[in-house]
Amino acid sequence: MADTDGNIDSHDYYIDTPQTAPTFPLKGCQSLDWGMKNRLANIFDPKTGRTVMLAVDHGYFMGPTTGLERIDVTINPLLPYANTLMCTRGILRSTTPPTFNKGIVLRASGGPSILKEMSNEHIAVDMEDALRLNISAVAVQVFIGGEYETQSVNNMTRLVDAGNRYGVPVLGVTAVGKQMVRDAKYMRLATRICAELGCSYVKTYYVEKDFDTVTAACPVPIVIAGGKKLPELDALTMAHNAIQQGAAGVDMGRNIFQSDAPTAMIQAVSKVVHEDMPPKEAFEYFETLKNA
């Protein structure tokens, strides 16, 4: 029998206090179900509504690229500073500590290597296996204008359907073919298609001119890829410009793990993303950490 001694028969129902309805901090995500929002909150810091995703999925088509030869040695020490890790299930199972308790964004498309036509990708992960791995989102490459455009869009919509069944957000990753012009017009087209067809958020590249029109025209959050390695000040400037023009974070790989000081760089990027730190100040912060 339950011990009821000392129970006080008094209740406060806060009759005069309307039940609160907290708003969800991510653009365009208000109508998503609880599970989907909860997963997104593992990716985007609820305090800022922004994210520093550490992208290390390059091996799925590039093999052991510079900086990712030994992910256990070079990447695991960076995990405390990332909001989210973006990787393949192979790396997750073989190398990532299961004690990592932030969001995992799982690379879910693949097929051709750098030796082949890159846009010929298929879905590479079953949603059931993604759920077994307790991931927070799946990522699919979308090749708008590419040779296999329709196939890659079909990969995306199939993952969106599977994700909606289980409450798993899909990140649409816009891949720009070498022959295509990387401008705001293309990015508007590609990101909007991903959002219209159901992605919860979209990754694209930053463009110098009119990037704010890309974020404005996309009804869900945008994160930017880092792209090829730049000098640290330039990479921090790019991240800063993207955030100031409406991006909700970065999904950055090479500009972090190929830096001379990756631990310092990811912390400097985090200051830019979450604290709006100006690039020069963030670069000084990077140098201070690097030389400590």
Minimal distance, residue 109 CB to ligand 5RP, in Å: 9
188-207 residues in contact with ligand 5RP (CB under 6 A) are none
114-173 residues in contact with ligand 5RP (CB under 6 A) are 173
Query: Letter for the amino acid at 105?
Result: V
Among 57, 85, 266, 282, the residue binding ligand 5RP under the rule CB under 6 A is 57
Stretch that binds ligand 5RP, among 75-83, 158-166, 223-231, 280-288 (CB under 6 A): 223-231
Minimal distance, residue 19 CB to ligand 5RP, in Å: 41
- Give the binding-site size for ligand 5RP (rule: CB under 6 A): 13
Applying CB under 6 A, does 269 fall inside the site for ligand 5RP?
A: no
Applying CB under 6 A, does 103 fall inside the site for ligand 5RP?
A: no
Among 36, 52, 55, 193, the residue binding ligand 5RP under the rule CB under 6 A is 55
Applying CB under 6 A, does 253 fall inside the site for ligand 5RP?
A: yes
CA 123 to chain centre: 18
Among 67, 110, 221, 226, the residue binding ligand 5RP under the rule CB under 6 A is 226
Stretch that binds ligand 5RP, among 17-25, 163-171, 245-253, 263-271 (CB under 6 A): 245-253
Stretch that binds ligand 5RP, among 37-45, 213-221, 225-233, 262-270 (CB under 6 A): 225-233
- The DSSP code sequence of the chain is ----TT--------TTSPPP-PPPSSTT-TTS-HHHHHHHHTTSBTTTTBEEEEE--THHHH-S-TT-TTHHHHTGGGGGG-SEEEE-HHHHHHHS-TT--SEEEEE-EE---TTS-TT--EE-S-HHHHHHTT-SEEEEEE-TTSTTHHHHHHHHHHHHHHHHHHT--EEEEE---TTS--SHHHHHHHHHHHHHTT-SEEEE---SSSHHHHHHH-SS-EEEE--S---HHHHHHHHHHHHHTT--EEEE-HHHHTSSSHHHHHHHHHHHHHH---HHHHHHHHHHHHH-
Minimal distance, residue 81 CB to ligand 5RP, in Å: 15
Among 225, 243, 266, 272, the residue binding ligand 5RP under the rule CB under 6 A is 225
The tokens describing 14, both together, are: 């806060």
Which position has the token pair 């077994």?
A: 132
Annotated catalytic residue, options 27, 47, 178, 203: 203
Minimal distance, residue 104 CB to ligand 5RP, in Å: 13
Alpha-carbon distance of 145 to 73, in angstroms, equals 38
Applying CB under 6 A, does 251 fall inside the site for ligand 5RP?
A: yes
Number of Cβ within 10 Å of residue 32's Cβ equals: 19
Stretch that binds ligand 5RP, among 39-47, 52-60, 128-136, 266-274 (CB under 6 A): 52-60
The tokens describing 221, both together, are: 């959050």
Under 8 Å between Cβ of 106 and 74: no
Active site residue 271: no
Which position has the token pair 């090829």?
A: 228
Applying CB under 6 A, does 59 fall inside the site for ligand 5RP?
A: no
Stretch that binds ligand 5RP, among 11-19, 147-155, 189-197, 219-227 (CB under 6 A): 219-227
Binding footprint of ligand 5RP on the chain (CB under 6 A): 55, 57-58, 86, 173, 225-227, 251-255
Catalytically active residues, by annotation: 203
